[in-house]
Amino acid sequence: MIGASTLEVAAHEAAHGAAAAVLGRRLMYVSRNLTNCGESFSLQKYGADPLDGVVVLLAPIYAAPSSRYLAIRDIGVARALRQDHGVDVSEALSRAETLVTQPDFRRAFRIIEHGLWSRPVLTGDELALMLSLDEETT
């Protein structure tokens, strides 16, 4: 197992978190201390496009390319979703590539990434506060 640096894991998880936030999912937590490769969890809004979850899964490929090896597990999950449920992974990749260039994504990404530099776990409540406070000051 490759030992990922804190900065790489923070960027990778921030990409999951920012994609979830921009797509209107409810962030439950973003962390960089579990299993040495971090973990993020968000809930789909009722009635949202089911492909959003796959976009969140694949966003780090484009948003944190220097830590692309951390996405190996995510890509495996996406492949399994394609195989078992016919999920359109190429459409999700295309949406993720576009999403990470949006200003809202860049803003959320920066906030979450910086938060993870000092804290290993950011809860959903903390993330909601961080993302809304920044909005008021910019």
Least distance to Zn ion, CB of residue 101, Å: 19
**Residue 55 CA neighbour count, 13 Å, CB half:** 24
Among 42, 52, 53, 74, binds Zn ion (CB under 5 A): 74
Report d(CA 61, CA 45) in Å as an integer: 23
Least distance to Zn ion, CB of residue 72, Å: 9
Least distance to Zn ion, CB of residue 8, Å: 11
Query: Which residue lies nearer to Zn ion by CB, 52 or 74?
Result: 74
Query: Which residue lies nearer to Zn ion by CB, 73 or 134?
Result: 73
Beta strands in 44-114 (DSSP E): none
Query: Which residue lies nearer to Zn ion by CB, 72 or 129?
Result: 72
Report d(CA 77, CA 37) in Å as an integer: 15
52 binds Zn ion (CB under 5 A): no
Least distance to Zn ion, CB of residue 138, Å: 27
Report d(CA 136, CA 18) in Å as an integer: 18
How far separated are the first and last CA of the chain, in Å rounded?
41
Query: Which residue lies nearer to Zn ion by CB, 34 or 130?
Result: 34
Stretch that binds Zn ion, among 24-32, 44-52, 66-74, 113-121 (CB under 5 A): 66-74
Report d(CA 105, CA 88) in Å as an integer: 22
Report d(CA 128, CA 134) in Å as an integer: 10
Least distance to Zn ion, CB of residue 137, Å: 29
User: Which residues of the shown chain bind Zn ion in the complex (CB under 5 A)?
Assistant: 74
